[in-house]
Amino acid sequence: MDQCKIHNCEITRIYLQLESQTVKLVCEECIEDQGLGTKLDKLVLLQKVKKQAEELISKTNIDNSIKSFLSKLLKATVDDIKITKRRWNDRLQNMKLMIDKLINETESYFDQLKLELDNFRKGLVNIVNFSKFESLIKDDQQFDKETQIINYIKELENEVNDQKKTEILNLIKDYKDKIANTQIPSISDRLNSITLEMNEYQKIVNDYSKQCNPDNSLNIPYPPFISKILSSQNLQKLLQRIPNQNNKIQQIYYAQQLGINVDTFWNSVNNKSNLLMIFRSKNKIIFGGYTPCQWRRLQIQMQQGINDETYTSFLFIQTGEELKFFPIKREIKPAIILSSQSGPNFGNDLIINSDLQSGQINLGNTYQSDILPVSQQQLILLLGGQNQLNINDCEIIQIVH
């Protein structure tokens, strides 16, 4: 590439002055010296125009509809498509490996079930001398076959209820133990992982479709949001309690990816509002809260209460698949309490400590049951026997207006 005669460095762009039918070859220092940084619509990047002719054509005096389309098409680059293709090929291959592993585990599982069932039936046949019954069935010359079968059944009943009872019970116990100890292929974690991957894949495909056809007016539906902790059904129940349900929802924090500590938490939520926080303890209890109030990490060691004037804040606890809700009281009390060092605090009813793993729930200060009053003892039972939290996972969802 030619060198700039003024600054003795590489010429990188063409400055179009089409109103005067002139152009200038300029370097980056020319752009800075001449204040051309605000005139990007007239600067043609030479490195880019080699791969994308629209870099030049879109900045000339042409039909507006063509100009508009070419300008938007500039966002679609072949290099980016190649990188994304390789990345998703790898991710899809990983999903294929996951499915292949599940197929192998499934074959082993059902083979083991068949083996244990066959062994149980062989043992049962040996204990009750079933070969005698089989010979009765097969022997066409057997005199008074029906009577012989009745006699066998009576003999069988006597033996099973007497001397062979213990032997059969031991056989059943051994069979049950072996079936219980047969490794069942894990489905839920894989299904959740694959669903999340495929949803992200669909979004990427949709985005690139729009990049490469920017004037496409088709409204391509995006896949529904999938929580990494809550079931889809219970997530919908939570969202139904939040006003403006049709707004976009997005995950802004997931502890398994970003780390479960106070710094990553505040980096994700600082200055954000309308957050739904979902926690899971080591004993599988799921709980959390929502507030429209803005979370801010204070710069000094103090606490600041924030009131919810809409009274839409709430806490929740999931036991099994059942959700129990605890909406904010209609009193002038802070829905959340901000600080500099600790984790989230919902009105001193749900307090998460600075390690984002410990804390406690003490309902009744600011939040209450929307069905029946809940005593502290009942609350402890809801939490699996303790009100001291032992968090090992956290997901935060933002409702975007």
Q: What is the pLDDT of residues 125-170, one digit of tens each?
A: 888 888 888 887 877 666 777 888 888 888 888 888 888 898 889 9
Q: Is 302 exposed, middle or buried (0-12, 13-18, 19+ CB in 10 A)?
A: exposed
Edge to edge, the sheet with strand 13-17 lists 22-26, 13-17, 43-45
Q: How far apart are CA 214 and CA 399, in angstroms?
A: 27
Q: How far apart are CA 349 and CA 305, in angstroms?
A: 13
8 A C-beta contact, residue 124 and residue 171: yes
8 A C-beta contact, residue 354 and residue 365: no
Give how far Cα 182 sits from Cα of 4, 64, 74, 86, 177, Å: 75, 68, 57, 39, 9
pLDDT of residue 218: 47
H-only helix segments in 295-401: 376-382
Q: How far apart are CA 114 and CA 201, in angstroms?
A: 38
Q: How many CB atoms lie within 10 A of CB 260?
A: 19
User: How many C-alpha atoms does 181 have within 13 Å on its Cβ side?
Assistant: 7
- Angle in degrees, 0-180, between the axes of helices 165-180 and 78-127, rounded to the nearest 10: 180
Q: How far apart are CA 184 and CA 106, in angstroms?
A: 8
pLDDT tens over the chain, length 401 residues? 688 888 888 888 888 888 888 888 988 899 888 888 888 888 888 888 888 888 888 888 888 888 888 888 888 888 888 998 998 898 889 889 988 998 999 999 999 999 999 999 999 988 888 888 888 787 766 677 788 888 888 888 888 888 889 888 999 999 999 998 988 887 766 777 787 788 788 878 888 888 888 876 545 455 567 888 998 888 988 988 888 656 678 889 998 888 888 888 998 999 999 999 999 988 888 999 999 999 998 888 888 999 999 999 999 998 778 888 999 998 888 999 998 888 999 999 999 998 889 888 888 889 986 554 555 555 655 565 555 688 989 999 998 87
pLDDT of residue 41: 84
With a threshold of 0.75, does the pTM exceed it?
A: no
User: How many C-alpha atoms does 393 have within 13 Å on its Cβ side?
Assistant: 15
The separation between the first and the last C-alpha atoms of the chain, rounded to the nearest angstrom, is: 49
What is the 3 state secondary structure string of 171-224? HHHHHHHHHHCCCCCCCHHHHHHHHHHHHHHHHHHHHHHHHHCCCCCCCCCCCC
8 A C-beta contact, residue 274 and residue 399: yes
How far is residue 212 CA from its own chain's centroid? Answer: 28
pLDDT of residue 78: 86
Q: How far apart are CA 42 and CA 140, in angstroms?
A: 103
Give how far Cα 258 sits from Cα of 180, 268, 323, 343, 368, Å: 37, 9, 27, 15, 32
pLDDT of residue 93: 92
Q: Per-residue b/e over 274-285, b at no fewer than 16 CB within 10 Å?
A: bbbbbbbbeeeb
Longest CA span, the chain: 121
Residues 6 or more apart whose CB falls under 8 angstroms from that of 50 comprise: none
Q: How far apart are CA 123 and CA 129, in angstroms?
A: 10
Nearest partner of 238 among 395, 385, 360, judged by Cα:
395
Q: Is 18 exposed, middle or buried (0-12, 13-18, 19+ CB in 10 A)?
A: exposed
How long is the chain? Answer: 401
Nearest partner of 394 among 278, 236, 315, 298, judged by Cα:
278
